[in-house]
Amino acid sequence: MRKAAGVVAAVLLGVALAVAGLPAGVYTGLACALLDAGCPATGEPAGRLPQVTRLTAAEVALGGAYVALGDSYSSGEGVYRRGEAPLDGGADRCHRAGGSYVPLVAGAHAFGGETGFWACSGATTGNLLRGQHGQQPQIERVGAGTSLVTLSIGGNDAGFAPVLTECIVKFPWSSACVDQDAEVRRRIGELRGSMRAVLAEIRTRAPEARVVLLGYPRPFPASPPGRVDNLGVADQRWLNSMTERLNGVVREVADEFDRAIVAFGGPGSVEYVDAYEAFDGHEVGRPRPYLNGVIVDMEELTVDPRSFHPTADGYRRFAELINAQITTGPGRPLNNFHLSTP
């Protein structure tokens, strides 16, 4: 009641003073005396506002756990040895090898969380989401604490393994290799939808993470000097062109996702690392190749899975590309911030 009476008195007195034309400063004094409001502050402020700092690309990537997903180009198929214990307790058929780029990247940085190496040889986009060889789906390894995801994916969706087999086992004069063109183009075109599904699920599980997609290298020289592994010049050029087409689809989807993140001001990123010319001068058939050519098991008369996968030098080159991307980032500011109290 006393407070209400004070308010009424202040209003009535304020009207009277206004009519009398007294200086405005008088009102402040009255409000302070009668309402205990508008009084000048005394002493030091009680505290300061929190400080907001935008994180750098490297700080975002290294702030939490590193999760490596993908297919044989990430698992390390090209350097896996039969009988070698697969890393991270996966199925033997996943062929995760210590010579892959993943352990090299993990060892080059101080991540705030653990490294999860779950790439699996033969994986498709569907396998990432639904599982493979009876194992837990790779996508389920991604969580809120994940700050960096790397993966290579799409080659098995396009059917590159059977395509290469068809190219190699054909008669030397046959056009069976390039005759697969229409079917391979169709499968690559269908990859867009499944790639979007994979990226959407990763973003849902780790909305603040950087997602880095690694493209595939050109397998043969841009201008092949001659036949290699029963592949003629036309065959090699066609396989190069299909690799480039596949990379183009992966890049388009990655760029599409990152533009959406920017448009909504979201944290994290989706980034594409172009590896198409990364093995330039070291393609199949060169003196020091970064990709294995055809490796035949003479005892069982079968083609070794390491065929047409990166060598140890190839995986080291991949690690260089990923490490550089971790530092440079997507080429735009990231909307990841650190809040600190003074």
In tens digits, the chain (342 residues) has pLDDT values of 544 444 444 444 444 444 444 444 444 554 455 445 455 555 555 567 788 899 999 999 999 999 999 999 999 999 987 766 666 665 568 999 999 999 999 999 999 999 999 999 999 999 999 989 888 899 999 999 999 999 999 999 998 888 888 888 777 777 888 898 999 999 999 999 999 999 999 999 999 999 999 999 999 999 999 998 888 999 999 999 999 999 999 999 999 999 999 999 999 999 999 999 999 999 999 999 999 988 776 566 567 788 889 999 999 999 999 999 999 999 999 999 988 876
- How many Å apart are CA 131 and CA 154, to the nearest integer? 16
Among candidates 333, 340, 328, 294, which has minimal Cα distance to 78? 294
Q: Which residues pair with 231 in a beta bridge?
A: 228
**All residues at 6 or more sequence positions from 264 whose CB lies less than 8 Å from its CB, including other chains:** none
Which residues is 135 bridged to in the sheet?
Answer: 132
The ranges assigned to domains in the chain are 2-35, 51-340
Alpha-carbon span 257 to 194, nearest angstrom: 13
- How far is the C-alpha of 105 from the C-alpha of 212, rounded, in Å? 13
Asked if 164 and 226 touch (Cβ cutoff 8 Å), the reply is no
| CATH number belonging to domain 51-340 | 3.40.50.1110
10 Å Cβ neighbour count for 11? 11
Q: pTM score, two decimals?
A: 0.82
- How far apart are the C-alpha atoms of 218 and 238, rounded to whole Å? 11
- Listed in sequence order, the residues at least 6 apart from 85 whose beta carbon sits closer than 8 Å to its beta carbon are none
